[in-house]
Chains A and B, each alone.
Chain A
Amino acid sequence: MSARSSGDSLDSAASVNGVAIIGAGPAGLSALHQLLTSSQSLKIEMIDSQVRIGGQYWRHQEGSEFPAIDFDPRKNSAQSHEITWHLASTVWQIEKLEGGFRIHLASNVGDVTSSVEVEKIIIATGASERTLPFKNWTAPGVMSAGALQSLAKEYQVIPGKRICIVGSGVFAMPVAKSIKETAKKMGTEVEVTIIEAQSMTRWWRNSLAFLLNPSKIFEACGFLIFMKVNGVKRISKRMVRGVKIEAGGIVGLNVARVRSDLRPERGVEFLPGDLVATSFGFIPDMTLASILGLERRELSGDVVVVVNANQRTSIDGIWAAGEITGIGGHELAITEGAIAARDLLQRRSPLLKWRRVRQRLFTRGLTKIYPVSNRWVESLDDADIVCRCEEVTAGEIKESAHQLGADSARTAKLFTRAGMGLCQGRICQRNVKEIIDFVRSDGKSASDPNRETVRPIGGVVTLGGLSD
């Protein structure tokens, strides 16, 4: 049922000072934290697609203490504000109205829809993990590193004994730590091996950022010590070629030595294992940005929302904070969320802005240490699946470029169905784009970040849900 039927303008009586924060992770909760200090009486709609708040970084078990006490909104009950929580709700469309916006929500099952009207929106929908395809990556027992971390931390489930975390980037270490800690709590033994594509010595490329963020040095050392003490093996300069499966179960990984641009060198080694987790960085979520038509740009290979110094987007009344403005980690997300909310309240934030400079320097520097060049495509066989939903292979995608003239992820999709499935390209679009770019002889990318595949339906909504 729609909340309003008032044509094209906001129903002003009901939504004056109405603010929506979409995304209750570090950026969103930080923004909320700031809004609650306002002397104006605000009507705040908190929207998140998960059942519990915290986003990805502050995932926690049902009933346990919230991982970041300072940002627990239940501890900040300023009575002059009205907060409405819309959890397990996905935004599937946003309409622009005279003076504000109408946000269309659906339950995770999609059969119940509602809408809220607000004057202003802070978008903090975060990022999802980037995974690259490899042979047999669709088999049960292969999952993203975040999925394994969530199974361990939230549900105390570790479905394997010899775990390989394969990929590139900083995420492998916290995941390895979570698994080891959970295993200890459960009283079980698990072996964890990290297989990293880059070499250990690349950390020197980010030295300036470390000097400006000394806490990061301690954090890094802390991880290295933990790995050592708990027997987490780390193998570097290796990429996974495929998962070996016997009698329906995973027995291990075939890995190949690679250069820093991910070009494979000769020789394949076998590493035993029964559970594979994979992570190659993060992809900022552009769903709402494309629905709204927010200006976007390319940043280190990611498409991100363009914001000004106050986290304002190209549309009046909409701010963006956190990973969607550029992958940066939870501390930067907290900073940006605060700056956005403060700007909404017309406050200045010089100290936060300096903090943002330091934090951005560190995290943007990470892309220099862990670049993911599109030469990963060379490790794919034609029969390997790239689009999981529609089971489209690398060979079919390459054929669409060579034979049918596909020159972007969008055109490849029209010819092969890659990206037309239920996930609407969330997992594969970036990879399809890189395959097309890699195989086209003119090397020219036809993708304009502002014409990126739009996802006009941002989340699951059923025809019945729409018919109410």
Chain B
Amino acid sequence: MAKSFSFNGDGINFQSGDSVAAALIRSGYRALRRTRFAGQERSIFCGIGQCFDCLVIIDGKANQRACLVPAKEGMQVEFQEGAGKA
């Protein structure tokens, strides 16, 4: 079941049913984004889509909650800096 998506260009293997967050954490990634004021690193916190801390850019769209989005083959996921790029 070697499915993968990319995170900042790196290939991330995932299992069927994984959320993007679960796959990234299993692969050892500490941080998913940096905040827009103080540049703090963040990762998942509440795990159920309520806290909006696990934000990543998926296929060009910013502010996606990695804990809610199911991982899909071929997804382009990126570390989100602040509110994203224009």
Contact = CB atoms under 8 A, between A and B. Distances in A.
Query: In the complex they form, do A and B come into direct contact, defined as C-beta atoms under 8 angstroms apart?
Result: yes
Interface of A: 49-51, 56, 61-63, 88, 108-109, 128-129, 131, 138-144, 146-148, 150-151, 154-155, 157, 159, 248-249, 388-391, 421-423, 426-427
Categorize the interface residue count of chain B: 35 or more
Contact of B16 (A50, A62, A426): A62
Nearest to B30: A140
B45 A142 contact: yes
Given A140-B31, A155-B19, A423-B51, 11 more contacts: A50-B48, A56-B48, A62-B16, A63-B17, A141-B30, A143-B45, A147-B48, A151-B22, A389-B51, A389-B52, A390-B37
Interface in B1-42: 15-19, 22, 25-26, 30-32, 35, 37-38, 40-42
A143 B46 contact: yes
Contact of B68 (A108, A388, A421): A108
Contacts of B61: 109
B68 A151 contact: no
Contacts of A421: 52
A141 B41 CA distance: 11
Interface string B45-62: 111111111010000010
B45 A391 contact: no
A220 B56 CA distance: 40
A419 to B, nearest CB: 12
A108 B44 CA distance: 17
Given A141-B30, A144-B45, A423-B50, A155 B22 contact: yes
A107 to B, nearest CB: 10
A148 B48 CA distance: 11
A248 B30 contact: yes
B66 to A, nearest CB: 11
Given A62-B17, A157-B26, A388 B45 contact: yes
**For chain B, what secondary structure do more than half of its interface residues adopt (helix, strand, loop), or is it mixed?**
loop
Contacts, number: 106
A449 B47 CA distance: 27
Contact of B41 (A140, A148, A154): A140
Q: Which 5 residue pairs are nearest across A and B when measured between Cβ atoms?
A: A62-B17, A147-B47, A422-B52, A140-B43, A155-B22
A422 B65 CA distance: 11
A144 B46 contact: yes
26 contacts: A62-B16, A63-B17, A108-B68, A108-B69, A109-B64, A128-B48, A128-B50, A131-B46, A139-B41, A140-B30, A140-B31, A141-B43, A143-B47, A146-B47, A146-B48, A147-B48, A154-B17, A155-B19, A159-B25, A248-B30, A388-B51, A388-B53, A389-B51, A389-B53, A391-B38, A427-B46
A151 B26 CA distance: 9
B63 interface: yes
B25 A157 contact: yes
A427 B17 contact: no
B74 interface: no
Contact of A427 (B16, B25, B50, B67): B50
B37 A391 contact: yes
Nearest to A159: B25
A144 B51 CA distance: 10
Contacts of B70: 51
B50 A138 contact: no
B22 A138 contact: no
